[in-house]
Structure formats: structure tokens, C-alpha cells
Amino acid sequence: MNLITISGPPSSGKTSVILKTIEAIKKRKLKVGVVKFDCLYTDDDILYKKADIPVKKGLSGSLCPDHYFVSNIEEVVVWGKKENLDILITESAGLCNRCSPYIKGIKAICVIDNLSGINTPKKIGPMLKTADIIVVTKGDIVSQAEREVFASRVNSVNPQAVIMSVNGLTGQGAFELSTLIYDNELNIETVKGKQLKFSMPSALCSYCLGETRIGEEYQMGNVRKMKIGDIDD
């Protein structure tokens, strides 16, 4: 079984890209399943079911969705094996720009859209910097010049990645992406013992543990203060 991790900022078009790409993959008689990770709510699982795609979803609730992803990925792989999938795609919400759900040796795809802002590639962090493939969406809404500038910014952040455009509505580019996803010689039996590409932020403080009161006396653990300085600085 191939395992693919797809992440990206909210509303970048991840689910649309995945659906169109699976359409192309199915023409090769390969069985694909999806596990959707999100924070508080998602109905994307309904879209996958309508497309006759085996799907599971996990909501992290008060936890970081990427931490939740890492805590559950082993069980997810076991599910994919039981379903006899050829390809298991995990879709992560990517809500925290400091986190990255990518695993060493597992193909990682970041989806980002042309409308997110010219400096967004620099803000996303390891989710973009450590991706193997970067899919840029919504290229039909902006001009050719804007597409080229945005692609250049993406390339400057991660020059090693394959950068390609996919239209989540028409499916243009989805076939090309599907040819990059599946490796006939790759078979993932388990991810136990594998390592993340990037360590999660060391954010363990009193507010992570449920503290709601404001004040230095309530702050414990990993706390970082801004260097604000004097008014005249």
C-alpha cells in the first residue's frame, strides 16, 4: 500500500484536488481510500462517500490537528491495510503553520492557492518547505503574471519540490498529479518507528493545559516573552 500525506491551509482546495486525482487513479484499477483529519468540523467525508471512496474522519477537538494526526496515523495505516487499499491518502487541515504532518519516506503534498497572498509561501513554514510536491490551485482566477510570481515565491521557499498547478473544479492537472503519487514498488506495511520530517513546536504551557487566567503568575512551562522595550525605542 502507498501512503500519501496531503496538507495545506484551510480552503486551499485540498479535497477538490484529491477527488479529481482519485478519479484519474481509479482509471488504473487502483483502490484508494481517504482519512480526513480536521479540528472541529468537516463534512468532506460525505463528498468522499458520494464518490464511492472508503473514508474515515478524525476531529482533533481541542488538540492540534497535526499532533492528533501523528498520534493516530499508525491505526489509520492498519485500517487502510484491512480495506486492501492500493493507496491511502491522509488529508490534514494544516491549521498550524509551524507544524507539519509529514513522515520521512512517505510522499508529502502541500496544496496552496494563488489567492492566499503573495507572501503566504513564506508564512506556511515546514508544511510547505518540506513537501515533495506542491500543488497550486485557483490559477484560473488570477492572471498569468500573478501565477508566475506566486510560483516563483513558492519555489524560493522549497526549490527541491515539484511544483504543479491543478484545477479542483475542472480536474486539469489531476492526471499529471496522479502519475506522481503511485509507486508500484512501494509497499507500506506500517509507520511504527518512522520519524517525522520536522519536529512539532515545543508548546507546553499552562494555557495548553486549560489555564484561562491572564497574568505572569499563571504562566508555567514553555513561555516566551516579546521584546517590546521602552516607549521611546
Which amino acid is it at 183? Answer: D
When pLDDT is cut at 50, 70 and 90, the band that residue 95 belongs to is low
**Cβ pair 19, 55 in contact under 8 A:** no
pLDDT of residue 232 exceeding 60, the answer is no
Task: Determine what percent of the chain is predicted with pLDDT higher than 70.
Answer: 94
**What is the pLDDT of the chain when averaged over all its residues?**
90
Give pLDDT, residue 233.
Answer: 52
Segment 2-15 mean pLDDT? 93
Segment 144-157 mean pLDDT? 94
Neighbours of 192 (CB within 10 A): 9
97 HSE (CA, 13 A, CB side): 9
When pLDDT is cut at 50, 70 and 90, the band that residue 30 belongs to is very high
Segment 74-100 mean pLDDT? 88
pLDDT of residue 60 exceeding 70, the answer is yes
Give pLDDT, residue 96.
Answer: 65
| Interval 170-212: pLDDT, tens | 999 999 999 999 999 999 999 999 999 988 766 677 887 788 8
